[in-house]
Structure 1
Amino acid sequence: MTIAISLKVNDGLVLAADSASSILIRDNQGHSGVINVYDNANKVFNIHKELPIGAITWGCGSIGVSSISTLVKDFRDQITNHTEHLLNTASYTMQEVAEKFYEFIYTERYQVEFASWQPFQRPSLGFILGGYSSGATLAEIWRIDILEGGISSGPYLVRNQDDCGVDWQGAPEAIARLIKGYSQMLPQLLLASGLTDQQVANIIPILDQNLQSPLILPAMPIQDLIDIADFLADLTKKYVKFTPGPPTVGGPVDIAVITKYEGFKWIKRKHYFDNGLN
């Protein structure tokens, strides 16, 4: 589990995530499970050193022997240095980036590694890819979902260039209660109370319209967007810490901002080495 947050306004977007990572193994009998949770995983990524593109991840922390962080760097190397996979920096689109990444991470890595696993053992994994297409004035956000069982329908657009707002994945409860004004469990509780599917479907949009907190405004400055991202990540960490269950959200929070002219910039980033010594 994790908390992975993407926020978008007119001036750019912010990506934030915690550092907790669950490591999966499979024993000789074919049983899979979490062997440990570490607090220093990298989940915010610079996809291309020369372009305003970034990504965040949630779900399983590795595919085979490689961490997700290493695999993302492999992809970055592929689209930067290998002729057959090069990204044309003068004419690329975010859709093209998302499709290339999906082919790399899902078709070439996930499906190959987990082919011998039983469907119920195959872990969930997700990515947000955000940034600017070549020559674009505004950013856009694409998403990849790999559901438990290994099912995925490919990348899809979450926020187009004109759409602003906040999205969160991983451990959603704390942010959902704050922004939406109700628990993620509410639809199930309404159904359990005797309401029909149609009645619940009619109620939820009314709640969204009247309870949602408008934290994100399109004209908001980037610094304020950064502050909200930091606040929401910290809120989730503390919520998970003080509620029953394993510490599935934790460690340092990494934050990156992507703007049209400044490109990808780190705001908060952990290092396992001392910059002064390297």
Structure 2
Amino acid sequence: MTIALLIKVNDGIVLASDSASTLGGGAGVLNTYNNANKVFNLHKALPIGAMTWGLGNVGPSSIATISKDMREHFHAGEGAWEPWRLDSAKYSVEAVANQVRDYLSDRYSPVAAEHALIVEAAIKEDVKAGVPEDVARMRNPLLSELGFLVAGYSSEADESTAYAISVGPTGPPVMVEVLPSGETGAQWWGQPEAIARIMNGISLGTPDALVNLGIGGLDANAAQEIANGLRGQLGVQMIAPPMPIQDAIDLAEFLVSTTIQFVRFTPGPPTVGGPIEIATITKHEGFRWVRRKHFFDSRINPPFGGHGHAEHA
């Protein structure tokens, strides 16, 4: 799992994530790795970044590798990729997000279709062996959804924009604008419970808890309405539009760190963890790393001289 957090203020955007990735199997989580990359720079010369959650790889390629593939296309734009080349004087984050959505869908769809055939065959074998079909389907899930955020500044824009993309095994990919024009605040994906309790003042499970308590015979709709009211009364306004970018960075680090500790001490596998990575996107400074991990030492890897050199990592 993951915690992937976006904070938007007047001065720009903060992207922050953990580094955990989980290896799943029929019995649940088989292993957890704490060095996955989830925050990316999509163009070295333009204020555009990205962040991912959900599925960690498509076929043999990690989402980090796929993100760098897209970055190369946005930079070079040669041959079949020429339409990808970005003109610094006239580009939009929305157009970039559309390209990313289509590319991810093209990479994901054949892998998901092949996986679905394997899943159906496994379900048939389980049912033949006497396993109830609903149990068999739980044991043999379809490919997980892939979540991807594209965020930054369009050319000549004074306000940042962000688009969340969801690519799943059923239906077409979905893209929605996050915190649209005039709005600031936070949005998060992956393991949302800890941040929801801090920001909203209540658990995401509050509506179900109200129904389970059976107070006044509440149905799901009434319970949700009460939960919305509680959120309005108990939520904490931690983000103000004029918040300086450094304070937004500090808040992002606090929220991601708290989620890591919340999951650590909650029963179950530690599916959020590892180093915290943070990047900012501002109009004039562009994409800047605030906190980043490397699997190599940049002191012994020259910044120039060869494909895949440190500058492009």
Instruction: Quote how far apart the aligned CAs of 1:32 are.
Output: 10
Gap change, CA 1:55 and 1:32, over 3 Å in 2: farther
Deviations 1:86-141 (A, max 9, x none): 223221111111110000112x1010211122274211221121111111001011
Partner residue, 2:146: 125
Instruction: Quote how far apart the aligned CAs of 1:24 are.
Output: 5.4
Partner residue, 1:28: none
- Distance in 2 (alpha carbons) for counterparts of 1:146 and 1:79: 21
> When the two structures are superposed, what TM-score results if normalisation uses the length of structure 2?
0.82
Q: Specify the code of the residue in structure 2 equivalent to 1:58.
A: W
- Distance in 1 (alpha carbons) for counterparts of 2:172 and 2:276: 28
Q: Does the 8 Å CA contact 1:131/1:141 hold for their aligned counterparts? A: yes
Partner residue, 1:55: 50
User: Equivalences for 1:83-102 in 2 at 5 Å?
Assistant: 83-102=82-101
- Distance in 2 (alpha carbons) for counterparts of 1:58 and 1:150: 18
Return the match for 2:231 from 208, 228, 238.
Answer: 208
Q: Does the 8 Å CA contact 1:22/1:60 hold for their aligned counterparts? A: no
Partner residue, 2:178: 158
Q: CA RMSD in A?
A: 1.8
* SS across alignment from 1:105: helix
Q: Does the 8 Å CA contact 1:32/1:121 hold for their aligned counterparts? A: no
Gap change, CA 1:155 and 1:243, over 3 Å in 2: same
- Distance in 1 (alpha carbons) for counterparts of 2:43 and 2:147: 19
Q: Does the 8 Å CA contact 1:174/1:236 hold for their aligned counterparts? A: yes
Partner residue, 1:174: 194
Instruction: State the identity as a percent.
Output: 45
- Distance in 1 (alpha carbons) for counterparts of 2:253 and 2:87: 33
Q: Does the 8 Å CA contact 1:111/1:150 hold for their aligned counterparts? A: no
- Distance in 2 (alpha carbons) for counterparts of 1:19 and 1:151: 29
Higher Cα radius of gyration: 2
* SS across alignment from 1:115: helix
Partner residue, 2:20: 20
The structure richer in helix per residue is 2
Q: Does the 8 Å CA contact 2:12/2:280 hold for their aligned counterparts? A: yes
Return the match for 1:145 from 157, 160, 166.
Answer: 166
- Distance in 2 (alpha carbons) for counterparts of 1:179 and 1:191: 23
Partner residue, 1:134: 155
Q: Does the 8 Å CA contact 2:93/2:154 hold for their aligned counterparts? A: yes
- Distance in 1 (alpha carbons) for counterparts of 2:195 and 2:172: 25
- Distance in 1 (alpha carbons) for counterparts of 2:67 and 2:27: 24
- Distance in 2 (alpha carbons) for counterparts of 1:248 and 1:33: 11
Partner residue, 1:7: 7
Q: Specify the code of the residue in structure 2 equivalent to 1:9.
A: V
Count of residue pairs brought into register by the alignment: 271
Partner residue, 1:242: 265
Q: Which stretches in structure 2 are left out of the alignment for 5+ residues?
A: 120-140, 302-313
- Distance in 2 (alpha carbons) for counterparts of 1:2 and 1:103: 23
Gap change, CA 1:216 and 1:48, over 3 Å in 2: same
Partner residue, 2:114: 116
Deviations 1:189-243 (A, max 9, x none): 2233341233124223312211111010000000000000000010001111111
Q: Does the 8 Å CA contact 1:23/1:61 hold for their aligned counterparts? A: no
Instruction: Quote how far apart the aligned CAs of 1:270 are.
Output: 0.3
- Distance in 1 (alpha carbons) for counterparts of 2:142 and 2:221: 33
Gap change, CA 1:151 and 1:18, over 3 Å in 2: farther
User: Equivalences for 1:67-106 in 2 at 5 Å?
Assistant: 67-82=62-77, 83-106=82-105
- Distance in 2 (alpha carbons) for counterparts of 1:79 and 1:150: 28
Deviations 1:247-269 (A, max 9, x none): 10011000000100000000000
- Distance in 2 (alpha carbons) for counterparts of 1:151 and 1:191: 31
User: Equivalences for 1:191-270 in 2 at 5 Å?
Assistant: 191-192=211-212, 193=214, 194-270=217-293
* Range that drifts further, 37-46 or 186-195: 186-195
Instruction: Quote how far apart the aligned CAs of 1:33 are.
Output: 6.8
Q: Which stretches in structure 1 are left out of the alignment for 5+ residues?
A: 26-30
- Distance in 2 (alpha carbons) for counterparts of 1:32 and 1:99: 37
Q: Does the 8 Å CA contact 1:257/1:266 hold for their aligned counterparts? A: yes
